[in-house]
């Protein structure tokens, strides 16, 4: 019995992927999630998962925070990114940050099954013709990922809103917390990222290609 977690915020895609997987795997158990928060909860609730199929663009996740967070917290759990964002630099970072594979959402059910079987056997998977183009991450990228992995999901949301240029009181309103709480988060963010000001925070966020995250209170 294979046990998969499909983490994607689009119900129609989850439904289509489940249908495709059931045609390729005779014994299959699937759980679903639609945000980084619910993904982490499902991982906590199911200690028998064989693989997480992770979308990059879920609420609470942004481009790269989700893969960094999950690989930091659950290093033994294989993760394959399944995404429509197939830029080479994104694939390189996804693999460098610990994914076992990158599967395009345009792949056929047979290709997806082949990718998953490779990963379950302990191999990595990339779209055909991509492997030789993957670029190794720089030491700066790896150092940044290690620092970002120390952020909690709520601190990540604050970092994104700093990147958007919001004031403390505006961030507090967006996240439905007090301004004092936001100040405490910012202090922790600066310490964990080893930075001193908002300008540095914005520059680091841009390196991670952060995208809007949906707050959960």
172-177 average pLDDT score: 95
How many C-alpha atoms does 178 have within 13 Å on its Cβ side?
Answer: 3
Predicted model pTM:
0.84
Answer whether residue 117 shows pLDDT above 70. Answer: yes
**Tens digits of residue pLDDT in 68-111:** 999 999 999 999 999 887 788 888 888 999 999 999 988 888 99
pLDDT of residue 24 exceeding 50: yes
Residue 134 has pLDDT above 90, yes or no: no
Helices and strands, counts by H and E, the chain: 10, 5
Element (H or E) spanning 83, and its range? strand 79-83
Mean pLDDT (the chain) is 89
* Gap between the Cα atoms of 53 and 10, Å rounded: 13
CA-derived radius of gyration, the chain: 18
pLDDT at 209 over 70: no
The pLDDT score that the predictor gives to residue 216 is 40
Give CA–CA dist 57/60, Å, rounded: 9
Mean pLDDT within 17-46? 94
pLDDT score recorded for residue 1: 86
Separation in Å, CA 119 to CA 61, 80, 148: 23, 8, 26
What percent of the chain is predicted at pLDDT more than 90?
Answer: 63
Give residue 61's pLDDT: 72
Task: Quote the CA–CA distance of 108 and 212 in Å, as a whole number.
Answer: 29
Identify the three-state secondary structure at position 216: coil
Structure tokens at 162: 């700093």
pLDDT at 166: 95
Please write the tens of the pLDDT for every residue from 43-58: 999 999 999 999 988 8
CA 127 to chain CA mean position, Å:
19
Long-range interactions of 73-78: CB distance < 8 A, separation 24+: 73/40, 74/43, 77/43, 77/49, 77/51, 77/52, 78/50, 78/51, 78/52, 78/119, 78/120
């Amino acid at each position: 019995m294979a046990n998969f977690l499909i983490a994607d915020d689009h119900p129609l895609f989850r439904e289509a992927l489940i249908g495709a997987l059931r045609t390729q795997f005779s014994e299959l158990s699937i759980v679903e999630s639609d945000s980084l928060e619910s993904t982490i909860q499902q991982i906590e609730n199911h200690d028998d998962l064989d693989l997480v199929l992770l979308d990059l663009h879920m609420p609470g996740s942004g481009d790269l925070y989700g893969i960094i967070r999950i690989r930091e917290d659950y290093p033994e759990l294989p993760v394959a990114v399944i995404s429509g964002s197939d830029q080479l630099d994104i694939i390189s970072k996804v693999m460098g940050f610990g994914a076992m594979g990158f599967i395009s959402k345009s792949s056929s059910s047979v290709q997806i099954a082949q990718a998953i079987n490779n990963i379950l056997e302990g191999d990595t998977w990339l779209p055909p013709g991509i492997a030789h183009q993957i670029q190794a991450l720089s030491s700066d990228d790896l150092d940044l990922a290690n620092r970002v992995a120390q952020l909690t999901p709520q601190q990540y949301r604050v970092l994104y809103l700093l990147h958007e240029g919001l004031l403390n009181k505006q961030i507090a309103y967006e996240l439905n917390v007090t301004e004092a709480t936001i100040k405490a988060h910012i202090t922790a963010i600066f310490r964990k990222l080893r930075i001193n000001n908002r300008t540095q925070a914005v520059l680091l966020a841009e390196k991670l290609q952060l995208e809007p995250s949906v707050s959960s209170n």
